[in-house]
Structure 1
Amino acid sequence: MADNSKLQIAMFPWLAFGHMIPWLELAKLIAQKGHKIFFISTPRNIDRLPRLPQNLASMIQFVKISLPHVDNLRENAEATIDLPYDEVKYLKQSFDCLEEPMAKLLQSLAPDWLLFDFAAYWLPARARELDIPSGFFSIFTAATLGYFGPSSVLINDSGDHLKTPEDYTRVPSWVSFPTTISYRLFEARKVFDILISDESNVSHGYRFGQSLKGCDIVAVRSCMEFEPEWLKLLEQLHRKPVIPVGQLPTTTGDGDSDAETDTWRSIKEWLDEQEKGSVVYVAFGSEAKPSQEELTEIALGLELSKLPFFWVLKKRLGQADTEPIELPDGFEERTRGRGVVYTSWAPQLAILAHDSVGGFLTHAGWSSVVEALQFGMPLIVLTCYADQGLNAKLLEEKQIVELIPRDEGDGFFTRNSVAESLRLVLVEEKGQIYRDKAKEMKGLFGDKGRHDRYVDNFLNYLKNHRCLRKGEEINTTV
């Protein structure tokens, strides 16, 4: 007899590892509770995802769907990391050709629910034809979604809102409470081109707008303790249930390979030799890369700070990146013994958890933020693109991070401002507020039981909705 208390959920994230990894974390949390997950992506992306814990392998079924051929898309390019920034539009074109294959796949899988990402704006209507309810799952904070406003604004059919980069530097009119959250002008200029449409593609704004308009519920990587006013605003803007699923702190896979163990052993030996709370950890995520000019100022700022540092440096982002960045001449020689530059994979969670690390210089990608705050790690921020500017302002508003001072127009910053910000957060008395706030946030972001309860609440909603549709008795057991 079938267990009617268990769900079958299809998950379809956008083809970027900054999306797929938190989606997989949510999948694992749901699978731990006995529910079946169909995790849908392309073959190469699925093969590159972290290994599942052995106890969950039977509950998460990876379903491979091949990208259709489109002109100008590079061979074997299946994720944003496989392409230069200006070629991601071809990946979107191929992705949009998945509408019919996805409809057929959903018909064969017949899940109880579909969770989809912003890029698949065409999918909720197809799911509805199959009588499959859908949820838009946002890896972005509630503040980011709230800042961009109602579907009508995103779809761009409601007048003259947000028509220039300068418009993105102001708090929107639909935000009804005091806040400073908006882009700085140099950040707005970077995101403006992806938010508006061009002749060859559908804009991100339109995709978000139609996704939010077409879904039955909105699930957000957030929690009420962190941004309650933004979660309430989302319900007002979209007039549908908005359900936080917790912060989804990253977990590790099923054991470590010998190579990973050896890598951590050598890194740990160096960290063990440093004073408690003295080391700056530097990393900018899997898909963000500073420009050559920015890299030079970061490096020389680290040198000027006189602080020990461990820098995970990606000189290029994948094989398609033909413009590698290089450290300043003599930098590694001058900082030898005080700092380490690591150009291959490094275990970020283990590094952030180490007692000698006292601060994290990062780009404010939300997964990196969550990983740092779950260990009570204060942050020093240099944003690169996308939602990072809004994340940074949200964290600054809560006095959790120090933003390295930059020119508002072009984003320029100096080595001196890097050094001063690092020393402020790690050693100076004035920076004690950041260290204290980070410790306070550890109680929220590091509380796995709390985030687990958010997932319970989310699953109860999905189950109760199914019961109501099928005329079954509502059961609160997860």
Structure 2
Amino acid sequence: MENEKAALHVVMFPWLAMGHIIPFFHLSKCLAQRGHKVTFISTTRNIERVVNKVPSDLAPLLHIVSFPLPKVNNLPHDAESSMDIPYQKAQFLKIAFDLLETPLTNFLENSSNPKPDWIVYDYASHWLPKRAHGLGVSCAFFSLFTAATMAFYGPPWALLNDERSIPEDYTVVPKWIPFESEVKYRQHEIKKNLEAPPAESGTSDGARFGASIGGSDVVLFRNCVEFEPGWFNLVSELYQKPVISIGVLPPSVVIDENLDSNDTSWLSIKNWLNKQNQESVVYVALGTEATISQKELNELALGLEKCGLPFFWVIRNQPRHKQEDLQIQLPDGYEERVKNKGIIYKGWVPQTKILSHSSVGGFLTHCGWNSVIEALCFGRVLIMFPVLNDQGLNTRLLQQKGVGVEIPRNEKDGSFTSDSVSESVKFAVVSEEGESLRTNARKMSSLFGDRKRNGQLVDDCVAYLMENRIGKSSRRMIFGQKRRE
């Protein structure tokens, strides 16, 4: 009984992508705030980017461990994240990541005071469950994807023996989904996903997912059951193991006038937003990894110009390793033409502060799940432009939820026009016909932005981890369902 009340020691080990490292670190802080020891492990440069400084009140419990990323041919020496390299070279980053198996195993074996109870890990760590179980450490797979996406990918056996080999195989609903669904890829989306050669690292992404899920003792989801109840029930059946919703880990937006006064970049952004009408601004950002062609950028730019609405467009500076993207430029004279209506911002921005501002009326997004969560926390309607990975599947799910509109594109090649961008933006943000979308998005803020409810889901997860810290649990349950039943 005393052991059940003792604090946990949880090791966190995310994949090398900002969209994974950040929520893993967010969960780490949530666990430490509840009195549990957390060891957060990543590579040196990624820790410098994300962690910065552990809050003083959490320092005794939240420990940061950095591993040097092993050197690999065809991977630039300072590339430690998927944002540092072209998408087509992601497999080389996975080769380097797999070489962390030995130092991580040594850490788990030698760690004490206390010994780790759980390791929370990501999809790429296909070798980790076997190593951890051999050392008596329980394993939690942390999915940063929706339940709908994971159900589309399939159960572990299907992932390990994936028969889908051509793009067309991914444009239909798989046989293990028993209900009507539109959650599937467009042909142009899956073609882009298949561009990276899966054999380079020796293990396909499907096999990584399959082994990581199959070897886990429990699967954690960064989502709320209420948002996709049917999909949560389905993944529980497909995985045949506990599936726990930990909530969306809503971002905190701290408005501190003293701190903000020293942040000149945010002050300039806020001053511009303050001058705009309420819910009139289109915020545009395509994440840290998505890259688009020159033609696509031109059409997007012209569409924003045509829509006539004020916009704030974040264009991330490309790393020097993405040489093929460096020549992409805005149309001639564009910034001069839109200077009274739009802002082109190159570099990092405080996205949650922008989305929380009352002048923002819509979010033109790639539909990465992190960005979607941030938008719906503040009830922002979505203009959806998926680029790669799970973003197309997210878009179909969000369409079914009626919280946004997808920019129409050619099914096969993904082409689109500036007119389709303009019309989609106006429909979502200002049209009378789009009011139902805006209403639905606003309603989502009561679910995604409910800190009390999301905090309770983390508490429920902690209770499960404490109760099942040793060995595998044979119980099958989904936290968060009690309130629906």
What TM-score, normalized by structure 2, do the two folds share? 0.92
**AA matched with 1:317:** Q
Alignment CA distance shift 1:395-1:423 (3 Å): same
Whole-Å separation in 1 of the counterparts to 2:417 and 2:56: 48
**AA matched with 2:295:** E
Matched, 1:371 2:369: no
Matched, 1:70 2:75: no
Question: What pairs with 1:154-193 in structure 2 (closer than 5 Å)?
Answer: 154-156=159-161, 161-193=163-195
Corresponding residue for residue 456 of structure 2: 453
Corresponding residue for residue 104 of structure 1: 106
| SS of residue paired to 1:209 | helix
Whole-Å separation in 2 of the counterparts to 1:379 and 1:80: 25
**AA matched with 2:436:** I
Point out where structure 2 has 5 or more consecutive residues left out of the alignment. Answer: 474-485
Alignment CA distance shift 1:29-1:200 (3 Å): closer
**AA matched with 1:142:** A
2:138–2:470: 8 Å Cα contact kept in structure 1? no
Corresponding residue for residue 402 of structure 1: 405
Question: What pairs with 1:263-302 in structure 2 (closer than 5 Å)?
Answer: 263-302=265-304
| SS of residue paired to 1:243 | strand
Corresponding residue for residue 318 of structure 2: 317
Corresponding residue for residue 358 of structure 1: 361
1:305–1:420: 8 Å Cα contact kept in structure 2? yes
2:42–2:67: 8 Å Cα contact kept in structure 1? yes
Shift of the alpha carbon at 1:468?
A: 8.0
Corresponding residue for residue 84 of structure 2: 82
**Match of residue 141, structure 1, among 143, 146, 157:** 146
Whole-Å separation in 1 of the counterparts to 2:283 and 2:365: 8
Q: Deviations over 1:176-230 (max 9, x none)?
A: 1221110111111112345x73254311101000111111111111111101111
Shift of the alpha carbon at 1:78?
A: 1.3
Corresponding residue for residue 246 of structure 1: 247
Corresponding residue for residue 206 of structure 2: 205
| SS of residue paired to 1:437 | helix
1:184–1:389: 8 Å Cα contact kept in structure 2? yes
Corresponding residue for residue 19 of structure 2: 18
Matched, 1:414 2:383: no
Q: Deviations over 1:325-381 (max 9, x none)?
A: 211011111111111111122211111111111001010011110111100100101
Corresponding residue for residue 479 of structure 2: none
Whole-Å separation in 2 of the counterparts to 1:183 and 1:71: 33
Whole-Å separation in 1 of the counterparts to 2:254 and 2:389: 28
Q: Deviations over 1:431-464 (max 9, x none)?
A: 0011101111010011011111111111111000
2:136–2:470: 8 Å Cα contact kept in structure 1? no
Whole-Å separation in 2 of the counterparts to 1:201 and 1:404: 36
What TM-score, normalized by structure 1, do the two folds share? 0.93
**AA matched with 1:38:** T
Aligned-pair Cα RMSD in Å = 2.0
| SS of residue paired to 1:55 | coil
**AA matched with 1:116:** Y
Alignment CA distance shift 1:54-1:273 (3 Å): same
Corresponding residue for residue 125 of structure 1: 130
Whole-Å separation in 2 of the counterparts to 1:219 and 1:15: 19
Alignment CA distance shift 1:2-1:57 (3 Å): farther
**AA matched with 1:376:** G
**AA matched with 2:118:** W
Corresponding residue for residue 475 of structure 1: none
Shift of the alpha carbon at 1:156?
A: 1.3
Q: Tell me how many residue pairs correspond in the alignment.
A: 465
Corresponding residue for residue 30 of structure 1: 31
Q: Deviations over 1:58-86 (max 9, x none)?
A: 32111111222222221122111222222
1:22–1:250: 8 Å Cα contact kept in structure 2? no
1:92–1:201: 8 Å Cα contact kept in structure 2? no
Corresponding residue for residue 474 of structure 1: none
2:129–2:215: 8 Å Cα contact kept in structure 1? yes
Whole-Å separation in 2 of the counterparts to 1:228 and 1:107: 39
Matched, 1:330 2:333: yes
